[in-house]
Amino acid sequence: MLNPRGSTRSRRTVGKVPVAQPTAAGYSGWVPPLVLALSLAISAAGVPQAASEPEPEPAQAPIGGADAKPASTPPPMGGWREDLGLGLHSTTFWSHEDHHYTFHSLSFGYGSSWGSRGPFVHLTGLFPQQGREDGRVYALSPYYRLRYGGDLLTGFQWRWRAWDSVETETGAGVHALFLALKGIPGYRDFSASPLGLGGDAVLRWRTGHALGSWPLTVGLYGSAALDLYDPIHGDDLRHGFTFRTGVQIGLAQGGKQ
């Protein structure tokens, strides 16, 4: 039965409360609840409903990455170098009387130098072990109760960097040597003191450790000298050669490049 006002809705009575029923004309009364339900479902599903403002791009890391370490500064070449060395020492010389002497010694030395261009001094204590006279080789201990000597080389050195933590030092200057052998009863004493010119070379590594503020170094050393005069024996020395080589440990003080 039609509604007196022309509505397409019909009514039925459930008890005393009239209940509205949808008709074939449509579901206009149900649209808002459906839209609301769909909106809530879309929000819960995480689907963006509107375009948001673009997020700022992250700042680019510096070249080499965020964890890139700054370039290390090479160690300076200036300052003091103080070294202690252990090695071998040999000296050989000829007299005007055509005698030829050679002595081999254990050595313990001290070296010091200043600056990338500056003075140096090497002092070496000698403990002679073997001698050679005119081709005959002798162990010295059976014939000499006391055996000692010393070697001095001092002059001007140049120091430069070979690699990042490795430096080279070369120098030239005057050379002096003395040997003293005190014979047992029945054998004469022997001594020599050749003088001349010499040069040396040092290869030094920084270990990465330090003693206080002084970096610790290890290295190799070698020297050679030409001897031309012996003041103790007058003009008896014709010429001679001295060689020294070994390993060393030392300290390096910083300074200007």
pLDDT tens, 199-229? Answer: 999 999 999 899 888 899 999 999 999 999 8
Q: Among residues 254, 119, 92, which one has the least CA distance to residue 200?
A: 119
Q: What is the pLDDT of residue 71?
A: 53
Question: What integer best gives the mean pLDDT of the chain?
Answer: 80
Neighbour tally for 60: CB within 10 Å: 6
Q: Do residues 237 and 58 lie in contact, with contact meaning Cβ atoms separated by under 8 Å?
A: no
Sign of CA dihedral 117, 119, 125, 130: positive
Reading the block at residue 7, the tokens are: 């509505």
pLDDT tens digits, residue range 123-165? 999 999 999 998 899 999 999 999 999 999 999 999 998 887 8
Max avg pLDDT among 24-38, 73-87, 171-185: 171-185
Model confidence at 3, pLDDT cuts 50, 70, 90, reads very low
- For residue 114, what pLDDT band results from cuts at 50, 70 and 90? very high
**Is 109 or 53 the better-scoring residue by pLDDT?**
109
List the domain boundaries for the chain. Answer: 11-44, 80-252
| CATH 2.40.160.20, applies to 80-252 | yes
